[in-house]
Amino acid sequence: MSKLFETTQLNGMTLKNRFVRAATAEGMATVDGESTPRLVNLMTGLADGGVGLIITGHTYVTKRGQATPWQLGIYDDKLITGLRAMTDAVHEKDGRIVVQLAHSGMLANPKLTNDAPLGPSAMEGLNGVIAQEMTIGDIQKTVEAFGAAAARARAAGFDGVELHAAHSYLLSQFLSPAFNQRTDAYGGTIENRAKIVLEVVQAIRKRVGEDFPVLIKMNGQDFLEGGLELEDAVQAGSMLKEAGIDAIEVSGGTFASGDLMPSRKDIIKESDEAYFKTEARAFKERITIPIIVVGGIRSFPVAEGLVNDHVADYISLCRPLIREPGLINRWRSGDLRKATCVSDSKCFRPALAGKGVYCVVEKRSGA
Ligand SMILES: Cc1cc2nc3c(=O)[nH]c(=O)nc-3n(C[C@H](O)[C@H](O)[C@H](O)COP(=O)(O)O)c2cc1C
């Protein structure tokens, strides 16, 4: 049997294979960030399709951290009931589901938050709005908000949480010298830039204990001038392991990284796939917790090679599972043709337009 279909344990969470549905902002929540039956159906479809672990789209831990309309929220206890319907539905299908906790920092949308975006430094965010430099009080409140969100996640029946510290959202902004120009204890060296992330992990552990999976998604590199580089990223990863993180999902890029963005296009040949493999391997060589690799994986042999060659322990897929939620069962059944996803990233548009994420190419072709 392929190693990809081995059963594994991640801090007590049993996973039936090594495939992960990468966090995908679905754009299917209510305007207040509540879950909806449509979102629950999408998760049920993924669980039915055989993926070992589902990671939800990024959920905002405070209202001020909201990035996009119809984004799922986890900022208030009133949201727990809706989230519980989601976890119950996935568990009924013998699936596992982790919620991605996020704050968009300087990428927050002021039209939604009615407030200035917060960031490590007062500078123009990628959306053209000037962010307000966070005070120590703002940092402490945000750290506590992540802790409270993790407690809600546990109460709602999630199997764990994943911190979104990638793609130039708040925690990634702190890690990146391109966005973090602070001169206090939260800026400068990688130890200082990682301080808020370590504090978030401590706040979460205080609220949920040791026996609850806490994952993190982070950039191996920003691919930005003056941005986070691989050596610092691996060092941050080591510190996070020491602080109690159970697994690291290695991604890369920001929305300002041009062609080297997190969701790259034009993945034609097998050699175009797994475009963060160098970064993942560097993490895997130096950090002794499970590594998840994301980014452009489309072929079964490529996925298998990544695990067999010790690049990563788990394989994370986003766009392929938008088009084919049943991809993992298809591969398991022996149909090993590559994912039908064409990686044009047009799926972002309906997600951001309140139509809910879907494969635009598939819909156009009427397939
Ligand atoms: C529509 C869409 C929404 C996404 N939403 C998130 C998100 O909420 N959180 C996150 O960490 N990454 C998000 N991503 C990035 C993916 O998780 C993934 O890192 C990236 O697309 C590369 O993987 P892929 O080639 O398998 O699509 C999103 C990507 C797409 C296409």
Sign of the alpha-carbon dihedral angle for 305, 307, 312, 314: positive
User: Is 275 an annotated catalytic residue?
Assistant: no
Summarize pLDDT for 209-241 with one digit per residue, the tens.
Answer: 999 999 999 999 999 999 999 999 999 999 999
Interstrand relation of 8-10 and 13-15 (parallel, antiparallel or unpaired):
antiparallel
3-class DSSP state of 317: strand
Rg of the chain's alpha carbons, rounded to an integer? 19
The predicted model scores a pTM of: 0.98
Percentage of the chain modeled with pLDDT above 90? 95
pLDDT given at position 129: 84
- Average pLDDT in the chain: 96
Give the model's confidence band at 125: pLDDT under 50 very low, under 70 low, under 90 confident, else very high. Answer: confident
Given a cut of 60, whether residue 288 has pLDDT beyond it is: yes
Summarize pLDDT for 305-334 with one digit per residue, the tens.
Answer: 999 999 999 999 999 999 999 999 999 999
Average pLDDT over residues 349-365: 91
Give the model's confidence band at 124: pLDDT under 50 very low, under 70 low, under 90 confident, else very high. Answer: confident
Position in ligand 1 atom list of the atom nearest CA 317: 26
Summarize pLDDT for 1-30 with one digit per residue, the tens.
Answer: 899 999 999 999 999 999 999 999 999 999
Average pLDDT over residues 336-346: 96
Nearest CA among 29, 102, 105 for reference residue 61: 102
Interstrand relation of 8-10 and 118-119 (parallel, antiparallel or unpaired):
unpaired
**Other C-beta atoms lying within 10 Å of the C-beta of residue 90:** 23
Between CA 214 and CA 269 the distance in angstroms is 34
pLDDT given at position 128: 78
Average pLDDT over residues 89-115: 96
Q: Any residues with Cβ below 6 Å from ligand 1, and which?
A: 22-25, 57-58, 100, 164, 166-167, 217, 251, 262-263, 294-296, 317-320, 345, 347-348, 351, 357
Q: SS3 string of 74-142?
A: CCCHHHHHHHHHHHHHHHHCCCCEEEEEECCHHHCCHHHHCCCCEECCCCECCCCCECEECCHHHHHHH
Q: Determine which one of 75, 169, 314, 358 is catalytic.
A: 169
Position in ligand 1 atom list of the atom nearest CA 357: 1
Summarize pLDDT for 32-86 with one digit per residue, the tens.
Answer: 999 999 999 999 999 999 999 999 999 999 999 999 999 999 999 999 999 999 9
3-class DSSP state of 147: helix
Position in ligand 1 atom list of the atom nearest CA 351: 1
Distance 208 CA to ligand 1 centre (A): 26
- 333 class by beta-carbon count within 10 Å (0-12 exposed, 13-18 middle, 19+ buried): exposed
